[in-house]
A and B are shown apart, each in its own frame.
Chain A
Amino acid sequence: AQKVTQAQTEISVVEKEDVTLDCVYETRDTTYYLFWYKQPPSGELVFLIRRNSFDEQNEISGRYSWNFQKSTSSFNFTITASQVVDSAVYFCALSEAMSNFGNEKLTFGTGTRLTIIP
């Protein structure tokens, strides 16, 4: 069975500090996808990134960066120079490889509530 663990329930940092959100996953599949979604106070789920299991390159997008390490089954998310607008709940998710019927269902972690203090 697939499982995603986000051990950090809540994190608070002062604006402009860097913060890393941890994500550890379990799966028996050799091919899978990892995701991060952001849920701001307004409630919608915003897609941030998808990474497949064969691509261990780190990715950077502006102030966001992701570190994927298969050896430790982790897919951590770092926000550099945090801003108040980054305050949200962040979810890490896992899915099996795409089948003939499209993307597979997502298994979500419990989320990390990030609060950026002005």
Chain B
Amino acid sequence: DSGVTQTPKHLITATGQRVTLRCSPRSGDLSVYWYQQSLDQGLQFLIQYYNGEERAKGNILERFSAQQFPDLHSELNLSSLELGDSALYFCASSADRNSNQPQHFGDGTRLSIL
């Protein structure tokens, strides 16, 4: 058990809809990262938050947005969903710069667009 909790585990929805994926980081971790794993793109970094503020952006579509709340949990919002958004979305967390801990991943949310 990595200590990172993602909900829901599975999500099935239709094109054009909007969904929210939730992530609770490990206790004490300030950074949250979102990654997308798809068959054609592999594992790709989407966005990182550190202590509530956006820290880095990767290949995240404008239809996607994220935030990190004061209790450090994070949500990834995906809107105007397309078939190509079907993927496994991972959240990872890590501590601050003084920590020797690597990123630990949650079990992922599998999103299926019908």
Contacts and interface: CB of A to CB of B under 8 A. Distances in A.
Contacts of B103: 47, 103, 106
A75 interface: no
Interface stretch (B12-20, B66-74, B76-84, B90-98): B90-98
Contact of A91 (B43, B96, B97, B108): B43
A108 B92 CA distance: 14
Contact of B31 (A37, A43, A46, A101): A101
B43 A99 contact: no
B105 A101 contact: no
A33 B100 CA distance: 12
How would you classify the secondary structure of chain B's contact residues: helix, strand, loop or mixed? strand
Contacts of B88: 43
B102 A47 contact: yes
B97 A47 contact: no
A102 B45 contact: no
B104 A47 contact: yes
A105 interface: yes
Interface in A92-113: 98-108, 110-111
Contact of B30 (A33, A35, A102, A111): A102
Contact of A45 (B45, B90, B97): B90
A105 B97 contact: no
Contacts of A43: 88, 107-108, 110
19 contacts: A35-B102, A37-B105, A43-B110, A44-B107, A45-B105, A45-B108, A46-B105, A47-B104, A98-B97, A100-B97, A102-B30, A102-B55, A102-B95, A103-B31, A104-B56, A105-B58, A108-B42, A111-B42, A111-B43
